Amino acid sequence: MPAHATVHADRPAGRDPSEGRPEQLSAEIVSWIERAERELVIVSAYLVPTPTLEEVIERAEQRGVDVRILTNSLRSNNHTAAHAAYRNFIGRLVGHGADLHEVRALAKDRDRYMLQPVGDKELGLHAKLMLVDDRWSFVGSANFDPRSLELNTEMGLLLESAEVNRALRERLAVDFDPRNAWHVQSTADGSLRWVADDAVLDSQPAASTFQRLEDWFLSHLPIAGEM
Cα(37)–Cα(60) distance, rounded to whole angstroms? 8
pLDDT exceeds 80 at position 14: no
What is the model's pTM?
A: 0.93
SS3 state of residue 43: strand
Identify the pLDDT of residue 223: 81
Cα(49)–Cα(106) distance, rounded to whole angstroms? 26
Residue type for position 37: E
- Domains, the chain, in order of start with CATH, read 21-226 (3.30.870.10)
CA distances from 196 to 48, 157, 171, 211 (A): 23, 33, 19, 20
pLDDT exceeds 80 at position 227: no
Residue type for position 103: V
Q: What mean pLDDT comes out for the span 20-30?
A: 89
Helix axes 51-62, 80-95, angle to 10 degrees: 30
Give one DSSP letter per residue of 128-180, joined into a string: EEEEETTTEEEEES--BSHIIIIIS--EEEEEE-HHHHHHHHHHHHHHHSTTT
Give burial (CB, 10 Å; 0-12/13-18/19+) of 150.
Answer: middle
Confidence of residue 106 (pLDDT cuts 50, 70, 90): very high
pLDDT exceeds 90 at position 107: yes
Give which of 215, 103, 216, 89 is closest to 144, Cα–Cα: 89
pLDDT exceeds 90 at position 151: no
Q: Which residues on neighbouring strands pair with residue 193, listed in sequence order?
A: 185
pLDDT exceeds 80 at position 77: yes
176 and 68 Cβ atoms separated by less than 8 Å:
yes
Q: Which residues on neighbouring strands pair with residue 4, listed in sequence order?
A: 160
Identify the pLDDT of residue 2: 79
Q: What is the pLDDT of residues 31-55, one digit of tens each?
A: 999 999 999 999 999 999 999 999 9
Cα(215)–Cα(40) distance, rounded to whole angstroms? 29
Averaged confidence pLDDT in the chain: 93
Percent of the chain beyond pLDDT 70?
A: 98
Q: What mean pLDDT comes out for the span 50-71?
A: 96
Identify the pLDDT of residue 18: 62
CA distances from 40 to 32, 37, 99, 121, 221 (A): 10, 8, 10, 31, 31
Identify the pLDDT of residue 226: 75
